[in-house]
Every structure is written in C-alpha cells, then in structure tokens.
Chain A
Amino acid sequence: MNAESTIARNHQDTGGAEYLSFRLGDEGYGVDILKVQEIRGWEPVTRVPNAPDYVRGVLNLRGAIVPVFDLRRRLGMEPVAYGKETVVIVVRVQGEEESKSIGLVVDAVSDVMRVTSDSIRATPEFGARLDTGLITGMVTAGERMVMLLDVEGLHQAQAADPATEVGAA
C-alpha cells in the first residue's frame, strides 16, 4: 500500500508514469505498474473448455478464480514452451461494471521504468499482421524499444472476441 501511494505521488510529480517492463521473445513491453496486482511464477492452471486458445485456464488466486491469458497468443505471436523465467503478471483492469483480475503469461519480467508522457510515441501501423489496437504507444528505453500495453483493451476485446462463442466449437 505504501509503495503504491509513493508511486502515485511519483506520477503526479513528474507527469509521467512507471511501467513494469517484460519480454515476449525479443520484444519489450510495458504495463502501467499501478495496474499490476502481483507477479507469480508459472504453474499449471485449470483449462476452461471451449475457450479461445490464448486463454490458458483459470487459477486460484487466494480464493478468487482468475483467468490466465497467454500474452504471446493474445497478440498473435508464436507460442513458446514455458520455462523457469516464465511468469504470470496479474493485472487489475477496469471492466464494464467492476474491476477484474487477469493473469498474463509473459516470457520474463525485466524491470520497472519511468516513462514521461512526452517520450511516448504513437504506434505505427503494422497492417493486419499485428493487432496494434492493444498498444497505446512506444517508448525507447536505452537500446530497446518498449511497447506500452493497454490492459483494459485486453480484457474488453476478449469479451467481444467471436472465438469465445463456444456454440460453434
């Protein structure tokens, strides 16, 4: 709690935000750290029948049932085998009525970085190859480029995804 309020203050002080960055293959991504609930190691989850392929299943997060999405599959990337570095980032997103928790499987977490709003660049169009709707912008962190992820969109798009209409399964 204390750390969170410190961060919140940092946000105000600098006009920027802190992002948790993580890797998917060679690419760097970031999520607003205020949305991150916790980071946990990958452990097997319970599969949900007839769900889209990126939904790995559900896990027990201290009594709550939380869905776990494979972020690679969600973004249309090639899946990889999970290893020792594979982690689940549990994010809290604002749903239509209430906030929901979602677990995101990523290759590895990197670090926490500060991003000022003027350093964020717009996302270039990649055409149909990549769904850029989930990327709110890009920043350069040292040598690397980090794409900032819209976690709310992750959840909403998932709700509207026709693949979840299981009748056709």
Chain B
Amino acid sequence: MSIDMEQFHQVFFEESFEGLEVMEAGLLRMDGGAVDDEEINAIFRAAHSIKGGSGTFGFTEVADFTHVMETLLDEMRDGRRPVTPNTVQVLLRSVDVLREMLTATREGASPDPEQVRIQQAELESVLASPGTAPPEASVDAAPESREQAPEAAGWHIVFRPHPHMMRTGNDPLRIIRELAELGDLQVTGDVSLLPPFSEFDPEECYLSWDLHLDAPVDRARIDEIFDWVEDDCDLAIMPVMIDAPREEAPGPDQSRLSAVSPPAERRVGERRSPEPRRRQERRSGQASPSSSIRVDIGKIDALINMVGELVITQSMLSLLGDDFHMGQLGRLRDGLAQLDRHTRELQESVMQIRMLPISFTFSRFPRLVHDLGAKLGKKIELKMTGENTEVDKTVIEKIGDPLVHLVRNSLDHGLEMPEERIAAGKPETGTVELNAYHKGGNIVIEIRDDGRGLDRDRILAKALERGLVQEDHNLTDRQIHELIFQPGFSTAEQVSDVSGRGVGMDVVRRNINELGGSIEIESEPGQGSAIIIRLPLTLAILDGQTVAVGDETYIVPLISIVESIQVRREMIHLVAGRGETIRLRDDYLPVIRLHEVFGIENPRATDLVDGLLVVVEGEGGQFGILVDDLIGQQQVVIKSLEANYQRVEGISGATILGDGSVALILDIPGVLRLAAGAGDVDQLQQSA
C-alpha cells in the first residue's frame, strides 16, 4: 500500500504506550496473587494491539517480541499455564524492554538488539518450560506455542470469513494476494455457501478458501497478514511438515474447523469484537508524555455554552449602549453583573481544561513500590486515594519527581524491615498511603507511612555535626523536621542507591516552592510519618491578599498566610537589642518590615503596633510581615516579570489590578532571603 503511514505513527505510539501502562498495571495486580480472568484478558488485549499495530507499521522487531509475550499471555489466559510470580516478573521486565523498543522506534532509532535478544530468550525459556496445567491442554497447545518451529515446510490455511467481514473494511482478496507474495500459493475456493441470486447481499462474504502456502515462512508472517481479520473469520493455520504428505492435511482439518471449539482455532471463539476492546483500553489508559492534552468533551461543551451566554450578554450591553439614558441604569447594572458572572465562569471553565486527574502522576507508583519493595526486601502495601482529584497540567508535570523522591524516602528510610516491624508489634507488611484531595482552593497531597517515623535524635546529631544548629538550642519537633530540608542533609545510615545521597529534601522543597506550594512533615516516633504537600490548583491564577505599604500595593499569596494580627505592645520582645520578635501563643516570630526590605517610602506604620502583621509560612518556619493595611482578598492572574524584564528577588510575579495598574506578588521565601541578606534579622535563622 502506498498510503503515507507517518500520520498514523503518532497514534500508534500513543496507544501502544497506553497499552503498556495497562499491561504493567495489570501485571502488578496479578503479582499480588489475585488472578482475575478479566485482568489477564486486558493484558493480553493490550499486547495483542501492540503486536498488531507494530506489524502493520512494519516495526517487525517490536511485533516479533510482542508476539512471544502474547503467546505466553495466551497460555496464561487459557489456564494452561499457572500465574507464578516468576512469570509475572519476566513479563514485567518484558514490558520494560518493549517500552524501550517503542521509544527507540518512535525516535527513529533501532532498539538495542542485545537487550531484546536476552529478554526474548528469557520469555522463550519460560514458554519452553512446561506449565502445570492439565496435560491435554498443553498437548493441544504444542502446535501453536511452538509455532516458530523451523520444521514447517509450508502452511495449510483454512480461511472462512464471517459474512460481515467486508463491512469491517477487510478484503479477503487482498489477504490472499499478500499470502501469495510469501511464496507459491494454491487457492481452493469454497462456494457452497453462496445463496440463490435473489437472496444475494453484495456486501456479505459467502466464500471461503483453502490455502496451501508452499514456503517455509515464519508463522508470525502469516499471523501478521490475518491480524486485522482474525476476529471476523474462522481461521485455522497448520504447518505442513516436510515428511507429511500434503494430501492428508485437509481431511482432519476440515472436520476440526466445523467442530465447536477445537484448540487450533480457540483464538477465534474467544475473541471479543474489536470495538469494546478498544474502548476499554482508552478508558483505563494513561497518556504518554506529549504536549497535547485530552479534554473531556463535557468540559468543552460547558465552555461553548459559557461563550454563548457571554455573547448574549455582550450584545445586550451593546444594544443598551447604543441609545443609553439614565432610566436604563438598572438594566446596565444587571447587564454588568451578568457580564461579571459569565466572565468568571468562563475563566473557571477555561482553567478546567488544563486540569487533569492526579492519577497521571500516581500511576507510576504501584510499579515503583513493587520494584523497590523487592529490592529492599520489605513488604509494602501501597494505598492510593483521590486519584481523580484534578490539578493543573503543569503541576502534574512538575510534581512527579518530587513525589517519587518522597515515596522512595518513605520506603527506604521510613518503613522498617519485616523482622523489625514484627519486633515492634506492627504488621509485617508496611503501608504507604498516597492521598490527594482538595482543600480550600489548594490540592493537598499526603504521603503517609506507618514506619519508624523521623528519628529526632539522629537528625539533631547530624545537624550539630554539620553545624546547622548550636548545642544549647532547644528545638521544637517542628524545627527539627525543618532541618531535613537543609541542603546536604541526609540521615540515612548508609547511602543506598535508592535514596540517601543527600541531594534530596532541599531540592524537593525548592521544586514545590517553585510551584507556589508548601511542604510540611508530621511524624510520630514508631508510628510513622506523613509528608503533606499543598499546591495551588493552577499556576495561572492565585488567591491573593492585597496589602498596602506606603503608596504601594502588593499581593501576598493566600496559601502562605497563616493569619493576620494586630500587634499589641506587650507582644513585642527584643532579642539581644537587635530586633523584635512577636510572641504569638507559644511561638516567637521574627518580624520583617516590608518597607525596609523593599525600600518603600513613606510607610504609614513603622512601629509594629501601628500596622498589621501578616503571619506567613516560609522556609524555616513562620514569620511576620509588617504592612500598613490589608486591602482585600482577590483572585489574581499571574503575569511574568521575566517576560520583559528579569527576576526580582522577593517578587514571584506581577498582576494587573482592576484599575489597570500593576501590583507585584510577593515571593515569601525570597522576602525572607532578602531580609536575612540585609542583616536585618539575624535572629531569623537562629530561631528558625
């Protein structure tokens, strides 16, 4: 065929990677011991689709490799081969190899032949080892599972299309023509089913064929040709041995064909029609990392409705404006209120388009936990909840690596070895939970384990050793937990290749801060620990608190604000005569005067009691920012300062206020650094 296949490649790769995810997820569930027919079927179907697609596009290495996997899966599906952990492991490794092959193929490179060969050999050795299933079945399976046996000198194919085959777009003639290309082909047509002309439906296929291919080709080559039609026909492919006289072959085979379900054609009977298969894969599939985005049609419809409403409002307002008199003021107000509402709804709908379920990130963890657990010799159960919580695509993309790091940490450092757990009176299997949920305009992701918890003493010892804290400091639990976010801090007793290279938590925190989020740790010695990440739902919009200092207006991200307080004189404490701290309940908070840090002229409040203190959560704990006044809370659209200017320390971006003027958005960690750099608040680092 001379059709340009390139355009379909993208789709093929996308679907194949989805298929791999399906296979991986299914295999991991099987690994838990629960063998569900539907599970094996799903894996088989995914493998089958990849094989079919790669064969069609001429990626023969991929097709050949997948074929071996498929054969193994097929035996498992039929119950002729038990599902053993070993088989599952081999299949999981094969999925990895297949993924690499597909990636290489997509980039136009050829896959590493050595690796493929090794893995294929491993698969084949599993295939060659006898299953423990009923003996008669394995005998039946012989001709098919050994289909690459070299002794076949030719093939005898009985091809009986179902009447509807031509409606699926397949032409039996084309198939026969392709077969003829492989070698000498003898075709015997069977016209016995042809109806009288008056009942003849030109769109149905009444013919069937008996084909003798006189060429020692691979079974796979023949399978490839029938790939697209095997669901729509009765098909029997039998090798013709050199010593087997060809004349004998048709007799028994004909009778087998008409039998209800002879083993050689069981592929036919058990196949489901292709439509449901495809749909199922779509539903359970995960997207490959591409820059496109799949949007739920409901979201698009909602958007279109919204735009419709907006257009109506707009035309209403412009009619009103054409001939306006004061009597219509009420209508104008109504119209503007409507416009306001529609604009806000439209904005929300547009934002919805970028929202994807967090399962895109979570989906990699079952495999990770499985592999790592095996490597570390720990028994681990992974529980995930809230996978459908939606979050901005950019957040999804950027949160993946930090999460992997945190989960690895939990598995490696948090959870104990089985013996240790039993000794501590805990269940042998450790649990790691991944939860995601929405809370107050943010998405919260929790990673909880029931391991040993953070070791307070060891962290402290390490911090002393590194000179991060002074001996005589009395630190709260919270402050100790903060220490592990310091650069170069790792409490792992041994540096393992799993985690513990000390490049960890500070990078994790930085990544999360860059997303405008925050991270905190809860830990109960012996009971486990939890890492709680809060992220904004979207990076384009921010809930902000507008504050005034002097003549200037700034936005403080609401996510950072703990509370805002009016300072009373008795709350102020001087530290070594150098700076003030505010006693708030049991904490002493360092104070940053925004007008000092930013050099703002004419602040109304220079004394703490004159202004308002916005208590914010930053790296290293809470601190108070002194501002003149709080103006209000509003959602602001984040604009980049760097697009036309450059990064400004202490400022994360800008936004445009309702009056068209620009207001800058505070970057809380940056403000803290500025203040510390100015030498203004030495005590910041000490008390933090």
- Interface residues of chain A, those whose CB is within 8 Å of chain B, are 45-51, 57-60, 63-67, 100-102, 158-159, 164, 166-169
Contacts and interface: CB of A to CB of B under 8 A. Distances in A.
Contact of B645 (A60, A67, A166, A167): A67
Contacts of B660: 60
Given A64-B639, A67-B644, A46 B661 contact: yes
B571 interface: no
B648 A48 contact: yes
Interface hub of B599, B641, B643, B644 (most chain A Cβ within 10 A):
B644
A64 B643 contact: yes
Contacts of A167: 649, 673-674, 677
B678 interface: yes
Contacts of B678: 169
A47 to B, nearest CB: 6
Nearest to B552: A47
A60 B651 contact: no
A65 B648 contact: no
20 contacts: A48-B648, A49-B598, A49-B600, A49-B648, A50-B598, A50-B674, A51-B648, A57-B662, A58-B645, A60-B661, A63-B639, A64-B643, A65-B639, A65-B643, A65-B644, A65-B656, A100-B645, A166-B648, A169-B677, A169-B678
Given A100-B643, A167-B649, 13 more contacts: A46-B553, A47-B552, A49-B650, A50-B598, A50-B649, A58-B645, A58-B654, A58-B662, A60-B656, A60-B660, A63-B656, A102-B644, A166-B674
The size class of the interface chain B forms with chain A is 20 to 34
A169 B644 contact: no
Contacts of B643: 64-65, 100
Nearest to A99: B644
Interface in B663-682: 663-664, 673-674, 677-678
Given A101-B644, A166-B649, A46 B639 contact: no
B470 interface: no
- A-B pairs, top 8 by smallest CB distance, nearest first, are A49-B598, A46-B662, A67-B645, A100-B644, A167-B677, A65-B654, A166-B649, A65-B639
A65 B645 contact: yes
A66 B656 CA distance: 12
A4 B639 CA distance: 29
A65 B674 contact: no
A20 to B, nearest CB: 20
A159 B656 CA distance: 24
Contacts of A60: 656, 660-662
A55 to B, nearest CB: 8
Interface of B: 552-553, 597-600, 639-641, 643-646, 648-651, 654, 656, 660-664, 673-674, 677-678
A79 B321 CA distance: 45
Contacts of B673: 167
Contacts of B663: 46
A79 to B, nearest CB: 16
Interface hub of A63, A65, A66 (most chain B Cβ within 10 A):
A65
B646 A49 contact: no
Contacts of B649: 50, 166-167
A59 B664 CA distance: 11
Given A58-B645, A65-B640, A65-B644, A49 B651 contact: yes
Interface hub of B643, B662, B674, B677 (most chain A Cβ within 10 A):
B662
Contact of B662 (A49, A50, A59, A166): A59
Contacts of A168: 677
Nearest to A55: B645
Contacts of A101: 644
A168 B678 CA distance: 7
A63 B678 CA distance: 33
B664 A46 contact: yes
B650 A45 contact: no
Contacts of A57: 662
Contact of A58 (B553, B598, B641): B641
Contacts of A164: 646
B662 A169 contact: no
Nearest to B674: A166
B520 to A, nearest CB: 27
Interface hub of A57, A64, A158 (most chain B Cβ within 10 A):
A64
B646 A65 contact: no
Contact of A159 (B646, B654, B661): B646
A83 B649 CA distance: 32
A50 B598 CA distance: 6
B643 to A, nearest CB: 7
Contact of B641 (A45, A59, A65, A166): A65
Contacts of B600: 47, 49
Contact of A49 (B597, B644, B677): B597
A6 B553 CA distance: 44
Contacts of B654: 46, 58, 65
Nearest to A93: B644
Contacts of B650: 49-50, 166
B344 to A, nearest CB: 18
A48 B661 CA distance: 13
Nearest to B649: A166
B599 A65 contact: no
A66 B644 contact: yes
Nearest to A69: B645
A57 B648 CA distance: 12
B661 to A, nearest CB: 6
